Amino acid sequence: MKYLDEFRDKTLAEPLLAELQRAVTKPFRVMEVCGTHTMSIFRSGMRSLLPEGLDLVSGPGCPVCVTSASHIDAIIAMAQMENTRIALFGDLFRVPGSENRSLANASSQGAHVDIVYSAMDSLELARKYPDDLIIFLGVGFETTTPGIAATIMAAHNQQIDNFAVFSTHKVMPPPLIALLDDPELQIDGLLCPGHVSAIIGASAFQPLVDKYNLSCVVGGFEPSDILQALILLARQIAKGEPKIENAYTRVVSWESNARATKMVEEIFEPADMEWRGLGMIPASGLTIRDKYAHFDVTKRLDIKLKPAKEPKGCRCGEILKGKEQPTACPLFGKRCTPANPIGPCMVSSEGTCAAFYKYGE
Amino acid sequence: MKTDKCVLLDHGSGGIASQELISQLFLKYLDDPILGSLEDSAVLPNQPGKIAFSTDSYVVDPLFFPGGNIGTLAVHGTINDLAMRGARPLCLSLGLILEEGFPLQDLEQIIISIADCCKSANVPVVTGDTKVVPRGKCDKIFINTSGIGFVPDDVSVSSTMAKEGDSILLSGSMGDHGITIMTRRAGISLEGNLASDSAALHELVALLLDKLPAGSLHTLRDPTRGGVATSLNEIAEASNLTAEITEQDIPVHKEVRAACEIMGLDPLYLANEGKCLLLVDPQYAKQALQLMQSTDVGKEAAIIGTLTAGKGGRVVLRTGIGGSRVISPLHGEPLPRIC
């Protein structure tokens, strides 16, 4: 396939790997922020080819993984109410909340749960089931939020009454700042998320360069894109000149996408948000503005989040912070597997534990 | 039979309505003399060799999809299960569980497909049963087929026969059935020609057993649910060897790859309904490949890897960029990703 095959082929990858080998002149540590990067690195078998001295750690960029147990508990409670249907993206289906209960369990006990491929599909559900309230689970970073904002706008314009969103939307730079303030986390560079950057612009990472002297390179998701980004990071780190570079120019600009940003700002406003593993982070999430309160399920059904305990022994928090590898978790591969996940990092196709388990590290 | 009608509870009662359904629909299309005798069981002529016996149930949703329907799967699936042990399929049973209210027109279309598949495979339905359950107690139609086949005495094909050094072949492109069903289920309409690969493989297997030197075809497996990844893991497990496959050698139609990209799925884990994995003595791998490529169902066959002495029960993929990774068996249903 055009624009994919050439980025997954030896013809490009081999010289890039050789160049990366030359560029790595001292040991350094890079965090890949986005779960899609993590998965691509594993899927392409890149880890078996990377030069010694280059240490990759996964960050908090898997939207499913960072959804807190208290949010999942609230979702399950909504699913079990009379006349509700939950519409969601597939990989949330098996994420456990507290007491290891997931939407998959709720569904098996009769809750109506529909996996959709686009938020807009939930408006179809609303038309199909006029007596039910369709609750779309708004999960994700800047990449997914514009589509959900557009869906709320469409519901508003079309006066679709039986549709609401449970917003756990999160925004990108704040959790990285929370992580970088932690002295235990030693990283030299960030592989910045390509698709999030397509919305917020590469310039959004400038505060991280200024405050933490961190090398930042925006990278695409194909193996050759990632290799190119790693070469730029290695060169920056070797020179000791941290800055932002964009290795994904076919998609990402320096400035933000004005149209998408405007759409999101029309519907949502910043809010404090609880992250799994990272706790409450100020202004790291998005809530629906009062003007569109009718589409905010927390207001419509008076949903209150209750504190929820993380599963006992689960190390997802430390793994999401990039402090530990999944193999350090006592549950990994024993009690916690993709078929019977205990922590969220094992559920999502983008989760670090799932990647380690699936691809055998 | 009037086709604007639907299945009634009476159709499963064993009374007049049942008899009408049998005579006006089932026997009209499934015209086998043993079935037509309407005895309580089919008595079959003895055959030389060992008996192979297999059963499978079909509950696919949607019932109709490009490339086939639940009826074609019910025939091909059981024929293929028999063929994967080197058996020559002899006959099938057909059990139907129908939901009250199921349109007779749809039932007729499914029975016609079953009859067509049986005819072209030369494997008749020789015994059958129909039950009707009240509305909501099953989803439209469930089908069970069982099959009997005979394995020639000198043929021994099984996962445990796989040997170090064996070449791994795949009889064609992977993922066509799985992605066709998943995109239909999701209501995603994609341009291109996504279609199920539903097909019977017993003639391909018979050709290979006939032309290849005796004992050179070690293992056959049809990678249905769980896909090529899961079947290879089962072979690696049973043989206590490592299956090494090369990403770029595995045939995948470009429509399937594109749909997988969109939905975040891996074709290695998607179901196939007309493909088989073969483990062949490496000396005869090319011959096996050419034989397969000479048939319609095997024209896109490829050699995709080798069984090696490495860690037992493991599947390793050589990736496009020259790296390697482990391929685990499927865990749970494949779910589309968030972004």
> Could you read off the pLDDT of A38-78 as tens digits, one per residue?
989 999 999 989 999 999 988 888 888 899 999 999 999 99
Q: Does the pLDDT value for residue A164 go beyond 60?
A: yes
Q: What is the DSSP code string of B176-205?
A: HHHHHHHHHHTT---SS---------HHHH
How far apart, in whole angstroms, are the C-alpha atoms of residue A42 and residue A350? 10
Average pLDDT, chain A: 92
Q: Does the pLDDT value for residue A141 go beyond 60?
A: yes
For residues A137-166, give the mean pLDDT.
96
pLDDT band for B337, please (50, 70, 90 cuts): low
Higher-pLDDT residue of A172, B297: B297
In DSSP terms, B325 is beta-bridged to: B317
How far apart, in whole angstroms, are the C-alpha atoms of residue A134 and residue B339? 21
B252-B257-B262 Cα angle (round to 5): 165
Closest-CA residue to A133 (of A101, A106, A155): A155
- CATH code of B9-151, in short, is 3.30.1330.10
How far apart, in whole angstroms, are the C-alpha atoms of residue B74 and residue B57? 7
Closest-CA residue to A266 (of A145, A139, A350): A145
Q: Does the pLDDT value for residue B10 go beyond 80?
A: yes
Query: Nearest CA of chain B to the CA of A184: how many Å?
Result: 30
- Closest partner residue to B338 (CB to CB) among A44, A91, A359 is A91
Tally the residues of chain A.
361
CATH class of B159-326: alpha beta
Q: Does the pLDDT value for residue A30 go beyond 80?
A: yes
pLDDT for the residue numbered A344: 80
Pairing of strands B314-318, B242-246: parallel
pLDDT (tens digit, 9 = 90+) per residue, A309-328? 877 888 888 888 888 889 99
Lowest mean pLDDT among A248-257, A342-351, B68-77, B154-163: A342-351
Tally the residues of chain B.
339
pLDDT for the residue numbered B191: 65
SS3 B35: helix
Q: Does the pLDDT value for residue B4 go beyond 70?
A: no
pLDDT for the residue numbered A179: 87
Partner B contacted by A265 (CB < 8 A) = no
In DSSP terms, A73 is beta-bridged to: none
- Closest partner residue to A42 (CB to CB) among B257, B325, B336 is B325
Contact at CB, B338 and A144, closer than 8 angstroms: yes
Phi then psi for A277, rounded to 5 degrees? Answer: 85, -30
Dihedral of the alpha carbons of A169, A172, A177, A183, in degrees to the nearest 10: 90
Read off the tokens for B42: 């089919």
Partner B contacted by A339 (CB < 8 A) = yes
Q: How does B182-204 read in b/e, with b if 16+ C-beta sit within 10 Å?
A: bbbebebeeeeebbbbbbbbbbb
SS3 A223: helix
Q: Does the pLDDT value for residue B137 go beyond 70?
A: yes
SS3 B91: strand
pLDDT for the residue numbered A313: 85
pLDDT for the residue numbered B338: 60
- CATH code of A69-171+257-300, in short, is 3.40.50.11740
The runs of H, that is alpha helices, within chain A are 10-23, 35-43, 69-79, 103-108, 121-128, 145-157, 173-180, 194-200, 206-212, 223-239, 258-267, 297-300, 316-320, 352-358
Q: Does the pLDDT value for residue B3 go beyond 60?
A: no
Pairing of strands B302-308, B242-246: antiparallel
Give B42: exposed, middle or buried? Use CB within 10 Å, 0-12, 13-18, 19+: middle
Give the single-character DSSP code of B22. I
Q: B259 and B309 in contact (C-beta within 8 Å)?
A: no
How far apart, in whole angstroms, are the C-alpha atoms of residue B83 and residue B77? 10
A309-A313-A315 Cα angle (round to 5): 90
SS3 A328: helix
How far apart, in whole angstroms, are the C-alpha atoms of residue B14 and residue A76? 45
For residues A286-305, give the mean pLDDT.
96
Pairing of strands B88-99, B125-133: parallel
Mutate to test the interface with B, among A349, A350, A353, A356 (most CBs of B within 10 A): A349
Q: Which residues contact A86 (CB under 8 A, 6 or more apart)?
A: A75, A78, A79, A103, A111, A112, A113, A114, A135, A137
For residues A82-106, give the mean pLDDT.
90
Query: Nearest CA of chain B to the CA of A44: how many Å?
Result: 6
Pairing of strands A28-34, A54-61: parallel
How far apart, in whole angstroms, are the C-alpha atoms of residue B330 and residue B228? 10
Pairing of strands B242-246, B88-99: unpaired
Q: Does the pLDDT value for residue B1 go beyond 70?
A: no
pLDDT band for A134, please (50, 70, 90 cuts): very high
Read off the tokens for A210: 């200024």
Query: Nearest CA of chain A to the CA of B49: how many Å?
Result: 41
Q: Does the pLDDT value for residue A266 go beyond 60?
A: yes
CA distances from B164 to A333, B8, B170, B329 (A): 28, 56, 18, 21
* Residue numbers in A near B233 (CB within 8 A): none
Q: What is the DSSP code string of A130-181?
A: TTSEEEEEE--STTTHHHHHHHHHHHHHTT--SEEEEE--B-SHHHHHHHHT
CA distances from A297 to A139, A160, B312 (A): 14, 14, 51
SS3 B131: strand
SS3 B308: strand
pLDDT (tens digit, 9 = 90+) per residue, B31-56? 899 999 999 999 998 889 999 999 99
- How many other C-beta atoms can be found within 10 angstroms of the C-beta atom of residue B61? 11
Where do the CATH 3.30.1330.10 domains begin and end in chain B?
A: 9-151
Give A218: exposed, middle or buried? Use CB within 10 Å, 0-12, 13-18, 19+: buried
pLDDT for the residue numbered B150: 97
Lowest mean pLDDT among B100-104, B106-110, B262-266, B305-309: B262-266
Q: Does the pLDDT value for residue B335 go beyond 90?
A: no
Q: Does the pLDDT value for residue A361 go beyond 60?
A: no
pLDDT for the residue numbered B252: 97
Lowest mean pLDDT among A62-66, A188-192, A284-288: A62-66
How far apart, in whole angstroms, are the C-alpha atoms of residue B187 and residue A199? 28
For residues B217-246, give the mean pLDDT.
96
How far apart, in whole angstroms, are the C-alpha atoms of residue B127 and residue B316? 44
Q: How does B144-177 read in b/e, with b if 16+ C-beta sit within 10 Å?
A: bbbbbbbbbeebbbbbebbeeebbbbbbbbbbbb
pLDDT band for B275, please (50, 70, 90 cuts): very high
Read off the tokens for B284: 């005869």
* Residue numbers in B near A89 (CB within 8 A): 336-338
How far apart, in whole angstroms, are the C-alpha atoms of residue A188 and residue A236? 10
Partner B contacted by A13 (CB < 8 A) = yes
Portion 288-307 of A in contact with B at CB < 8 A: none
Closest-CA residue of B relative to A358 is B328
* Residue numbers in B near A117 (CB within 8 A): 186, 188, 263, 336
Contact at CB, B321 and A338, closer than 8 angstroms: no
Q: Domain boundaries in chain A?
A: 69-171+257-300
The runs of H, that is alpha helices, within chain B are 16-21, 27-29, 33-36, 70-83, 104-121, 176-185, 202-211, 227-239, 254-263, 285-293
Average pLDDT, chain B: 93
pLDDT for the residue numbered B305: 98
Pairing of strands B242-246, B167-170: unpaired
Q: B8 and B100 in contact (C-beta within 8 Å)?
A: yes
